[in-house]
Amino acid sequence: MRISFQTAFPDLAAQLGPVNTQTFLDACKPVELAPGRMLFRDRMPVESLFLILTGELSITLVEGERNFVLGNAGPGQWLGEVSVLSGSMLGSATVTTLSACRALKLHYQDFDRLIRDNDHIANALLSNLIDLLAMRLRISAAAIGKQGDR
């Protein structure tokens, strides 16, 4: 699991270092996800973050009768971070596996414990999540803009 994590999340693994990487991985549960599985549904409860190691997932948003494809996620990406960080614990999009996926599942209580108990892990995780959210916002805005032009 450590090698898969280091391959998919090299920057985070480097920031954490060997000891904190192991502490982080000990808090995660490896999961295998079949193609076609709905991981999150928009506005439904979410209790965990997922760090994608392999595979591809689709991210969509339903507004009224319109279905917006926000993009795809794959290795090196987090899912569920918006609901956990916002405290809403509700999905902000629908996420469905497009292929078989391997991921690390981190329950929100374990995430909170890691952030609270270890400043080094907190800094590394939050820095990576901020970068991810900024990238996602740019990609989502561009995708919605393109679909709105249709």
Q: What is the DSSP string of 84-125?
A: HHHS--B-SSEEEESS-EEEEEEEHHHHHHHHHH-HHHHHHH
The proportion of the chain whose per-residue pLDDT surpasses 90, expressed as a percent, equals: 57
Residue entry with tokens 């919605």: 144
Record the pTM: 0.85
Range of the domain at 143: 2-148
Q: Which has more pLDDT, 64 or 122?
A: 122
- DSSP annotation of 31 reads E
Q: Which of 111, 134, 115 shows the shortest CA–CA distance to 47?
A: 111
Q: State pLDDT tens for residues 63-107.
A: 878 888 888 999 999 998 877 777 777 777 889 999 999 999 999
Domain count, the chain: 1
pLDDT at 149: 62
Please enumerate in sequence order all residues whose Cβ is within 8 A of that of 141, keeping only pairs 6 or more positions apart, or say none. none
CATH value at residue 21: 2.60.120.10
